[in-house]
Structure 1
């Protein structure tokens, strides 16, 4: 079993708060030391209360799926002896109503474009097989319906 952590921090600053005119800008702190600016999506909460330069949770969700798929693809390509020169994915997530009527990311479409180098290159069938294997191995894709628990606490 592995555990992964993220610490999310937000402060009110001098906003009144109850008038809903507070910044949604916050920080994501990861165990390796990276700090990523986060915010609500400007599609959900208008600027200036959202920071369009920050990563919103919906973008992070799509990026997480794309990144996991890519990392597995690269691993399987290397194992098969293919040389990958670059990989670009223009992934798109769609927010809609799910079957239960909840607003949710209902579909994520990965659109990876791979450029192979080296003396030999895979044919289309092998290329698709590598992507299929990557999708089957991607634990983020298998986690989409994972259980989410909340264990709240109060600061003094």
Structure 2
């Protein structure tokens, strides 16, 4: 079975001269999918982009963490682990090669997961090891992903 995903990217960086020169245009665009909020994006600030806007690296890292979270919540529900809150601050490490070509070398997810008192922390921790087998994004990237979860229990 296959699924189709579609996006719509609209370049917004034409200052009136198009790409007539290397510095004559902005590296900005919108992700504009019908029926969804527009996401304004820019190049990485290291490459002259707008630091207030999402860049492709932000989006990839966020997609990876979100996919992991969604599968984690699924397995937690199936395994009887009650999650009350889930937050992540993933970190991606990028490498720049000769000529400026870059790639992600690794990513580490840092989920902070609040569990209902009485939840089995060993089961909660083991769930992370199963997600890479099913997460679309994790299965699609070619760099290692590690997990450093922190578990806390909610106040009774």
The answer, yes or no, to whether TM exceeds 0.5 is: yes
1:120/1:26 CA distance change after superposition, 3 Å = same
CA contact (8 A) 2:81 2:124 kept: no
Partner of residue 153, structure 1: none
Correspondence for 2:119 among 118, 121, 124: 121
Computed over aligned residues only, the root mean square deviation of the Cα atoms, in angstroms, reads 2.0
Correspondence for 1:33 among 12, 36, 44: 36
Deviations, residues 97-140 of structure 1 (Å, cap 9, x unaligned): 57xx95201111111110012x52122x2122111122222121
User: 1:1-156, aligned counterparts within 5 Å?
Assistant: 1-11=2-12, 12-15=14-17, 17=19, 18-45=21-48, 50-97=49-96, 102-117=101-116, 119-123=117-121, 125-145=122-142
What is the rounded CA distance, in whole Å, between the counterparts of 2:34 and 2:75 in structure 1?
27
Q: When the two structures are superposed, what TM-score results if normalisation uses the length of structure 1?
A: 0.79
CA contact (8 A) 1:86 1:114 kept: yes
What is the rounded CA distance, in whole Å, between the counterparts of 2:22 and 2:102 in structure 1?
24
Q: Which portions of structure 1, spanning 4 or more consecutive aligned residues, are displaced by more than 4 angstroms?
A: none
Q: When the two structures are superposed, what TM-score results if normalisation uses the length of structure 2?
A: 0.79
What is the rounded CA distance, in whole Å, between the counterparts of 1:96 and 1:116 in structure 2?
36
CA contact (8 A) 2:81 2:123 kept: no
Deviations, residues 48-98 of structure 1 (Å, cap 9, x unaligned): xx2212110001111111000000000000111221111111101111157
CA contact (8 A) 1:40 1:56 kept: yes
| Structure 1, unpaired ranges of 5+ | 146-156
